[in-house]
Amino acid sequence: MTQPRKQIHLAAHFPGVNNTTVWSDPEAGSHIEFSSFVKLAQTAERAKFDFFFLAEGLRLREQNGEIYDLDVVGRPDTFTVLSALAAVTERLGLAGTINSTFNEPFEVARQFASLDHLSAGRAAWNVVTSWDAFTGENFRRAGFLPQDQRYSRAETFLRTAWELFDSWRGDEIAADAGTGVFLRDANAGAFAHHDEHFDIEGRFPVPRSPQGRPVIIQAGDSDEGREFAAATADAIFSRYGTLEAGQAFYTDVKGRLAKYGRTSEQLVILPAATFVLGDTDADAHERAHVVRLQQVSGQTAIKFLEQLWNADLSGYDPDGPLPDIDPVLGEHTIARGRASVRMYRDPLAMSREWRQLAEAKNLSIRELIIEVTGRQTFIGSPATVAATIDDLVQADASDGFILVPHVTPGGLDEFADKVVPLLQERGSFRTEYTGSTLREHLGLDA
Amino acid sequence: MAAGNGPRIAVALDGAGWHPAAWREPGARPGELLTAGYWADLVREAEAAKLDFVTLEDSLALQTEQYLDRPGERTDVVQGRLDAVLIAARVAPLTSHIGLVPTAIVTHTEPFHLSKAIATLDYVSTGRAGVRVQVAGRPADNRHFGRREFGEFRLEDSATPDVPSPLSELFDEAADYVEVLRRLWDSWEDDAEIRDVATGRFVDREKLHYIDFEGRWFKVKGPSITPRPPQGQPPVTALAHAAVPYRLAARSADVVYVTPFDRTQAGEIVIAVRDEQDRAGRAAETLHVFGDVVVFLDETEQAAADRKARLDDLSGAKYTSDAHVFTGTPAGLADLLLDWQAAGLSGFRLRPGAVPHDLTAITRGLVPELRARGAFRTEYEAATLRGLLGLAKPANRYATA
In percent, how much of chain A has pLDDT > 70? 96
Measured between CA atoms, the residue of chain B closest to residue A194 is B146
Within 8 A of A84 by CB-CB distance, chain B residues are: 89-90, 92-93, 124
Within 8 A of B206 by CB-CB distance, chain A residues are: none
- The single-letter code of the amino acid at A142 is A
pLDDT band at A336 (very low <50, low <70, confident <90, very high): confident
Within 8 A of B76 by CB-CB distance, chain A residues are: 180-182
Within 8 A of A88 by CB-CB distance, chain B residues are: 93
pLDDT band at A376 (very low <50, low <70, confident <90, very high): confident
- The chain-wide mean pLDDT, for chain A, equals 93
Q: CB of B37 within 8 Å of any CB in chain A?
A: no
Measured between CA atoms, the residue of chain B closest to residue A102 is B110
Distance (Å, rounded) from C-alpha B294 to C-alpha B259?
10
pLDDT band at A130 (very low <50, low <70, confident <90, very high): confident
Whether the Cβ atoms of residue A126 and residue A52 lie closer than 8 Å to each other: no
Give me the pLDDT at residue A341, please: 57
Q: Which has the closest alpha carbon to A136: B218, B251, B17, B118?
A: B218
Å between A137 CA and nearest CA of chain B: 6
Within 8 A of A185 by CB-CB distance, chain B residues are: 75
User: Does pLDDT of B3 surpass 60?
Assistant: no
Tell if the CB–CB gap between B117 and A142 is shorter than 8 Å: no
Distance (Å, rounded) from C-alpha A242 to C-alpha A273?
10
pLDDT band at A2 (very low <50, low <70, confident <90, very high): low
Within 8 A of A110 by CB-CB distance, chain B residues are: 60, 83
User: Does pLDDT of A261 surpass 70?
Assistant: yes
Tell if the CB–CB gap between A104 and B108 is shorter than 8 Å: yes
Give me the pLDDT at residue B64, please: 86
Å between B160 CA and nearest CA of chain A: 28
Largest CA distance in chain A: 83
Whether the Cβ atoms of residue B258 and residue B219 lie closer than 8 Å to each other: no
Tell if the CB–CB gap between B80 and A206 is shorter than 8 Å: yes
Whether the Cβ atoms of residue A393 and residue A426 lie closer than 8 Å to each other: no
- The single-letter code of the amino acid at A127 is V
Within 8 A of A188 by CB-CB distance, chain B residues are: 72, 79-80
- The chain-wide mean pLDDT, for chain B, equals 95
Give me the pLDDT at residue B2, please: 45
Å between A427 CA and nearest CA of chain B: 35
Whether the Cβ atoms of residue A247 and residue A396 lie closer than 8 Å to each other: yes
| Average pLDDT of the segment spanning A257-265 | 95
User: Does pLDDT of B162 surpass 80?
Assistant: yes
Give me the pLDDT at residue B1, please: 40
User: Does pLDDT of B5 surpass 90?
Assistant: no
Cα A182 to Cα A176, A185, B57, B81: the distances in Å are 6, 9, 19, 13
B108-137 residues touching A, CB cutoff 8 A: 108-113, 116-117, 119-121, 123-124, 126
Nearest neighbour of A202 by CB, restricted to B61, B117, B227? B61
Nearest neighbour of B140 by CB, restricted to A33, A84, A202? A202
Nearest neighbour of A71 by CB, restricted to B71, B94, B202? B202
Whether the Cβ atoms of residue A56 and residue A446 lie closer than 8 Å to each other: no
pLDDT band at A332 (very low <50, low <70, confident <90, very high): confident
| Average pLDDT of the segment spanning A102-112 | 95
Whether the Cβ atoms of residue A45 and residue A90 lie closer than 8 Å to each other: yes
Distance (Å, rounded) from C-alpha A408 to C-alpha A25?
9
Nearest neighbour of A139 by CB, restricted to B28, B76, B110? B110
Within 8 A of A139 by CB-CB distance, chain B residues are: 110, 112, 220
B331-390 residues touching A, CB cutoff 8 A: none
Q: What is the pLDDT of residues A377-435, one digit of tens each?
A: 899 999 999 999 999 999 999 999 999 999 999 999 999 999 999 999 999 999 999 99
User: Does pLDDT of A143 surpass 60?
Assistant: no
Measured between CA atoms, the residue of chain B closest to residue A119 is B36
Nearest neighbour of B208 by CB, restricted to A67, A70, A199? A67
Cα A46 to Cα A401, A439, B139, B345: the distances in Å are 17, 19, 48, 50
Measured between CA atoms, the residue of chain B closest to residue A111 is B83
Q: What is the pLDDT of residues B339-396, one digit of tens each?
A: 999 999 999 999 999 999 999 999 999 999 999 999 999 999 999 999 999 999 999 9
Within 8 A of B108 by CB-CB distance, chain A residues are: 104, 107
Nearest neighbour of B62 by CB, restricted to A58, A76, A203? A203
Å between B94 CA and nearest CA of chain A: 7
Q: What is the pLDDT of residues B267-295, one digit of tens each?
A: 999 999 999 999 999 999 999 999 999 99
Å between A118 CA and nearest CA of chain B: 5
Tell if the CB–CB gap between A34 and B123 is shorter than 8 Å: yes
| Average pLDDT of the segment spanning B187-206 | 96
Nearest neighbour of B226 by CB, restricted to A75, A107, A117? A75
| Average pLDDT of the segment spanning A328-332 | 80
> Within 13 Å, how many C-alpha atoms sit on residue A137's CB side?
16
Buried/exposed code over B339-367 (b: 16+ C-beta within 10 A; e: otherwise): ebbebbbbbbbbbbbbbbbbbbbbbebbb
| Average pLDDT of the segment spanning A150-172 | 92
Å between A361 CA and nearest CA of chain B: 27
Å between A73 CA and nearest CA of chain B: 7
User: Does pLDDT of A340 surpass 70?
Assistant: no
User: Does pLDDT of B136 surpass 50?
Assistant: yes
Measured between CA atoms, the residue of chain A closest to residue B230 is A33
Å between A124 CA and nearest CA of chain B: 15
Whether the Cβ atoms of residue A61 and residue A17 lie closer than 8 Å to each other: yes
User: Which of A34, A71, A79, A80 is most worth mutating to test chain B (most B CB atoms within 10 A of its CB)?
Assistant: A80
- A/B interface, count of CB pairs below 8 Å: 224
Whether the Cβ atoms of residue B79 and residue B16 lie closer than 8 Å to each other: no
Tell if the CB–CB gap between A67 and B205 is shorter than 8 Å: yes
Å between B227 CA and nearest CA of chain A: 6
| Average pLDDT of the segment spanning A41-66 | 95
Query: Is the link from the previous residue into B20 a cis peptide, with omega within 30 of 0?
Result: no
Q: CB of B220 within 8 Å of any CB in chain A?
A: yes
Q: What is the 3-state secondary structure (H, E, C) of chain B?
A: CCCCCCCEEEEEECCCCCCCCHHHCCCCCHHHCCCHHHHHHHHHHHHHCCCCEEEECCCCCCCCCCCCCCCCCCCCCCCCCCCHHHHHHHHHHHCCCCEEEEEEECCCCCHHHHHHHHHHHHHHCCCCECEEEECCCCHHHHHCCCCCCCCCCCHHHHHCCCCCCHHHHHHHHHHHHHHHHHHHHHCECCCCEEEECCCCEEECHHHECCCCEECCCCEECCCCCCCCCCCCCCCEEEECCCHHHHHHHHHHCCEEEECCCCHHHHHHHHHHHHHHHHHCCCCCCCCEEEEEEEEEECCCHHHHHHHHHHHHHHHCCCCCCCCEEEEECHHHHHHHHHHHHHCCCCEEEEEECCCCHHHHHHHHHHHHHHHHCCCCCCCCCCCCHHHHCCCCCCCCCCCCC
Å between B370 CA and nearest CA of chain A: 33
Check residues A17 and B133 and name the one with the higher pLDDT: B133
ipTM: 0.97
Within 8 A of B226 by CB-CB distance, chain A residues are: 32, 74-77
Q: What is the 3-state secondary structure (H, E, C) of chain A?
A: CCCCCCCCEEEEECCCCCCCCCCCCCCCCCCCCHHHHHHHHHHHHHCCCCEEEECCCCCCCEECCEECCCCCCCCCCHHHHHHHHCCCCCCCEEEEEEECCCCCHHHHHHHHHHHHHHCCCCEEEEEECCCCHHHHCCCCCCCCCCHHHHHHHHHHHHHHHHHHHCCCCCCCEEEECCCCEEECCCCCCEEEEECCCCEEEEECCCCCECCECCEEEECCCCHHHHHHHHHHCCEEEECCCCHHHHHHHHHHHHHCCHHHCCCHHHCEEEEEECEEECCCHHHHHHHHHHHHHHHCCHHHHHHHHHHHHCCCCCCCCCCCCCCCCCCCCCCCCCEECCHHHHHCCCHHHHHHHHHHHHHHHCCCHHHHHHHHCCCCCEEECHHHHHHHHHHHHHCCCCCEEEECCCCCCHHHHHHHHHHHHHHHHCCCCCCCCCCCCHHHHCCCCC
User: Which of B58, B73, B82, B91 is most worth mutating to test chain A (most A CB atoms within 10 A of its CB)?
Assistant: B82
| Average pLDDT of the segment spanning A188-215 | 95
User: Which of A24, A94, A118 is most worth mutating to test chain B (most B CB atoms within 10 A of its CB)?
Assistant: A118
Give me the pLDDT at residue A206, please: 98
> Within 13 Å, how many C-alpha atoms sit on residue B250's CB side?
23
- The single-letter code of the amino acid at B29 is R
Measured CA angle at B207 (ends B201, B208), to 5 deg: 95
